[in-house]
Amino acid sequence: MKIFSPFVTPCLTLALLACDALAAAESRVAANDIAAFEAAVGAAKAGDTIILDAGEWKDATLVLKGEGSKDKPITLRAASPGAVKFTGDSSLRLAGQHLMVEGLWFHNCFPLKWDVVMFREDSKNLASHCKLRDCAITQDAETKDSKERKWVSLYGLGNVVEHCHFEGKTSKGTLLVAWLPEAAGEPPKHEILNNYFGPRPRLGKNGGEIIRLGDSDTSMQEAQCVVRGNLFEKCDGEVECISNKSCGNEYGGNSFIECQGTLTLRHGNGCLVMQNWFDGKNRKFTGGIRIIGENHTVTGNHLQNLEGDEARTAICVMNGIKDSPANGYLQVKNAVVASNSIFDCKHSVLIGYADKDVQALMPPECRFEGNSIRTRGGVAIELIEPAAKLKWMSNIIGGGESGLSVSEGITMVAPEKVSQARLAKPVNRADVGVKWMPPAAK
């Protein structure tokens, strides 16, 4: 028996009309050249999608500007992921709010005026709450100019770079920078998540970092950015693979594999370095974590088979400089180094290192608790000078000597009894970056 309701047809009609209205309100526009792209951007509203035609876009300067919403961003994407390849003097700038960029590939881009991707149009038009996702920036050709250029420059507030692929940068300039305003304001709280940072050869000078959050002039500002779940492989540009230059940032769950650089808390205070995985695989000059400044916490990290020394020691606590300028070395104070495991590194812990011939200030009032160190038979902890008020609690050392004049807070055991940090796990290559990168380009 079929039962018909007089309300079904009107309701169905209303539903279809609503769908038609929604489709009309949220348009999908294809663009096959710069003029078509600019026209689409000029007409774009919340929920719209601009789709770039597949192919090579050479010397293309794009500005995506608009006002999306949290639930309905304005999206720019390739016809299919990776099918749009920008080359030459190409760049992309974002301005506005809630913009999404997906599936674009920038290859051998050497823009003359801009960075490759910038989260601002100019100094007055910034991007906030925008996202770069499933994109790649790669290089396998040399540039003839000496211009310093970044691959990604973050401005504004609350922007995200996730599941992107970066590899092969040889030119001068940090790969990804978060810029803070000169006047302190709301923390930007950018997020850098689940990306692949592939090999970068040694630059031979400063400016070869992979990530830098802030700079010397803004280093005492709160940034509260998050760098989480990323994979760094053979990032050798300089001694600082990551250069922290602001306050309140979190570095968690990242993996550093065969990187001839360190996660360096260069300037700024109050950062958290948690549950990261470092594996040098016995490659020369591979490094770990370097601590400078106040109130940092380094906990739950695992470091193994690192071959670096001095600033590239597995965990290096630097000396400060008396009356240090902002771009110098501020004294380490109240650092907490806890529950880390250091296995089979050339140098495990170095306290009081200074790489400049200056009057140095040793780190006071730092706490080392619950760390596990398995040495190759040498000294586990190298203390350059006696330091006041260092606290040692429940640390375990297997193999070699402790290197300390005190035994309180240190337990010597057989090497096989040293346990690894429980929560630190290596990042799986399949879980980061893009899925569409051709095998030959990976």
φ, ψ (nearest 5 deg) of residue 19: -65, -40
Q: What is the percent of the chain where pLDDT is above 90?
A: 81
Copy the structure tokens of residue 85: 């390849």
Structure confidence at residue 384 as a pLDDT band (50, 70, 90): confident
The C-alpha atoms of residue 93 and residue 66 are separated, in whole angstroms, by 12
Q: In whole angstroms, what separates CA 412 from the centre of its chain? A: 36
- Whether 135 shows a pLDDT value over 50: the answer reads yes
Q: Residues 237, 169: contact at Cβ < 8 Å? A: yes
Residues in the chain: 442
The C-alpha atoms of residue 330 and residue 319 are separated, in whole angstroms, by 8
Q: What's the average model confidence in pLDDT over 283-310?
A: 98
Residue 133: CB partners within 8 Å, gap ≥ 6? 100, 101, 102, 160, 161, 162, 163, 164
The three-state secondary structure class of 414 is coil
Please name every residue paired with 208 in a beta bridge, in sequence order, or none if there are none.
Answer: none
The C-alpha atoms of residue 313 and residue 401 are separated, in whole angstroms, by 17
The C-alpha atoms of residue 279 and residue 277 are separated, in whole angstroms, by 7
Q: In 3D, which of 89, 93, 94 has the Cα closest to residue 109? A: 89
User: What pLDDT is recorded for position 388?
Assistant: 66
User: What pLDDT is recorded for position 6?
Assistant: 42
SS (H, E, C) 91-152: EEEEEEECEEEECEEEEEECCCCCCCEECEEECCEEEECCEEECCEEECCCCCCCCCCCCCE
The C-alpha atoms of residue 130 and residue 74 are separated, in whole angstroms, by 9
User: What pLDDT is recorded for position 240?
Assistant: 98
* Tens of pLDDT, residues 199-242: 999 998 889 999 999 999 999 999 999 999 999 999 999 999 99
- Whether 20 shows a pLDDT value over 90: the answer reads no
φ, ψ (nearest 5 deg) of residue 254: -95, 160
Q: Residues 375, 353: contact at Cβ < 8 Å? A: no
Q: What is the pTM of this model?
A: 0.93
Distances (CA, A) of 324 to 244, 269, 294, 330, 348: 17, 15, 14, 6, 27
Q: Residues 153, 161: contact at Cβ < 8 Å? A: no
Q: In 3D, which of 274, 279, 232, 250 has the Cα closest to residue 423? A: 274
The C-alpha atoms of residue 377 and residue 111 are separated, in whole angstroms, by 51
The C-alpha atoms of residue 38 and residue 35 are separated, in whole angstroms, by 5
Range scoring the smallest mean pLDDT among 20-29, 79-88, 107-116, 404-413: 20-29
User: What pLDDT is recorded for position 144?
Assistant: 77
Amino acid at residue number 413? V
Structure confidence at residue 14 as a pLDDT band (50, 70, 90): very low
Q: What's the average model confidence in pLDDT over 395-407?
A: 91
Structure confidence at residue 167 as a pLDDT band (50, 70, 90): very high
Of the two residues 142 and 274, the one the predictor is more confident about is: 274
Q: What's the average model confidence in pLDDT over 372-392?
A: 88
Amino acid at residue number 138? T
Q: Residues 245, 267: contact at Cβ < 8 Å? A: yes
Q: Residues 341, 365: contact at Cβ < 8 Å? A: no
The three-point CA angle 396-397-400 to 5° equals 165
**Average pLDDT for the chain:** 92
Element containing residue 36 per DSSP (H, E): helix 34-43
- Whether 170 shows a pLDDT value over 50: the answer reads yes
Q: What's the average model confidence in pLDDT over 166-172?
A: 95
Please name every residue paired with 97 in a beta bridge, in sequence order, or none if there are none.
Answer: 67, 128
User: What pLDDT is recorded for position 407?
Assistant: 83
The C-alpha atoms of residue 43 and residue 127 are separated, in whole angstroms, by 18
Element containing residue 229 per DSSP (H, E): none
The three-point CA angle 364-366-367 to 5° equals 155
Amino acid at residue number 287? G
φ, ψ (nearest 5 deg) of residue 106: -105, 115
- Whether 108 shows a pLDDT value over 70: the answer reads yes
Distances (CA, A) of 106 to 73, 96, 109, 140: 22, 22, 6, 12
CA-derived radius of gyration, the chain = 25
Residue 1: CB partners within 8 Å, gap ≥ 6? none
The full set of domains in the chain, from first to last, is: 27-436 (2.160.20.10)
- Whether 19 shows a pLDDT value over 60: the answer reads no
User: What pLDDT is recorded for position 23?
Assistant: 46
Q: What's the average model confidence in pLDDT over 398-417?
A: 92
Strand 136-138 and strand 152-154: pairing? unpaired
Q: Residues 345, 304: contact at Cβ < 8 Å? A: yes
- Whether 16 shows a pLDDT value over 60: the answer reads no
